[in-house]
Amino acid sequence: AQKVTQAQTEISVVEKEDVTLDCVYETRDTTYYLFWYKQPPSGELVFLIRRNSFDEQNEISGRYSWNFQKSTSSFNFTITASQVVDSAVYFCALSVQNSGNTPLVFGKGTRLSVIA
Amino acid sequence: DTGVSQNPRHKITKRGQNVTFRCDPISEHNRLYWYRQTLGQGPEFLTYFQNEAQLEKSRLLSDRFSAERPKGSFSTLEIQRTEQGDSAMYLCASSSTHYQETQYFGPGTRLLVL
């Protein structure tokens, strides 16, 4: 079975601080995909990034960066110079490759509050 | 707007009533997923379709829940004899079957059962 753990329930930072959201996953499959989604107060889940299990390169997109480490089964997300608009709930998710991607397994989310 | 759409956005009903939600996926996507999200939790998978075929159903999908996707386009999720425990956000997502597909989500339907 697959499982995603986001141990941080809530984080509060002051604007311009850097913040890292942790994600630890469990799966016995060797081919899998990891995702991060953002859920602002409006409720819609917004896709941020997808990573496959064979690509451990870290990725940077503007103020966002992701650190994927298979050795520790972690896929952490860092926001640099946080802004008030980053306030949202962030979800890490996992799917495995079984003749096409299976449904996503989500963590419980981390609520990020960025204070001006 | 070419994203996933869901209707209605909000639904309030009395216990015991039936409700139906609709999801229109991104037009070129042949996979459609339903998830349920309760307060403070991540979304949980309910069921998914590839074209008109329902490929998988979660144990969360009790006999009171039924989903359809006629002609492989829009999908409906019906809950019969609603219970207060059905109160949640119902999310729809769609994806293609290309390699490394990503699921894109709609705005959700928030259900409150009184």
Q: What is the pLDDT of residues A15-58, one digit of tens each?
A: 999 999 999 999 998 889 999 999 999 889 999 999 888 888 88
Q: Of the candidates B48, B100, B108, which has its C-beta nearest A103's C-beta? A: B48
Q: Which residues of B touch A32 (CB under 8 A)?
A: none
Is a pLDDT exceeding 70 seen at residue B41? yes
Is a pLDDT exceeding 80 seen at residue A90? yes
Is a pLDDT exceeding 80 seen at residue B58? yes
Mean predicted confidence (pLDDT) in B83-92: 97
Is the omega angle on the peptide bond into residue B25 within 30 degrees of 0, that is, cis? no
The reported pLDDT for the residue numbered A1 is 83
The reported pLDDT for the residue numbered B1 is 53
User: Of A107, A104, A110, which is closest to residue A87 (Cα–Cα)?
Assistant: A110
CB contact under 8 A, A44 and B105: yes
A97-101, B37-41, B49-53, B60-64: segment of lowest average pLDDT: A97-101
Mean predicted confidence (pLDDT) in A5-16: 97
Q: Nearest residue of B to residue A53 by CA position?
A: B100
pLDDT confidence tier of residue B96, bands split at 50, 70 and 90: confident
Which of B49, B97, B105 is most worth mutating to test chain A (most A CB atoms within 10 A of its CB)?
B105
Q: Of the candidates A33, A50, A109, which has its C-beta nearest B42's C-beta? A: A109
Residue B90 CB burial class (10 angstroms; 0-12, 13-18, ≥19): buried
Token pair listed for B3: 């994203």
State the nearest Cα–Cα gap between B15 and chain A, in angstroms. Answer: 24
pLDDT confidence tier of residue B71, bands split at 50, 70 and 90: confident
With beta carbons less than 8 A apart as the criterion, state whether A111 and A89 touch. yes
Computed over every residue of chain B, the mean pLDDT equals: 93
State the nearest Cα–Cα gap between A72 and chain B, in angstroms. Answer: 22
Is a pLDDT exceeding 60 seen at residue A99? no
pLDDT (tens digit, 9 = 90+) per residue, A68-77?
A: 999 999 999 9
H or E element, residue B111? strand B109-113
State the nearest Cα–Cα gap between A92 and chain B, in angstroms. Answer: 9
pLDDT confidence tier of residue A88, bands split at 50, 70 and 90: very high
Cβ neighbors of A8 (< 8 A, separation 6 or more) are: A21, A22, A110
Is a pLDDT exceeding 90 seen at residue B100? no
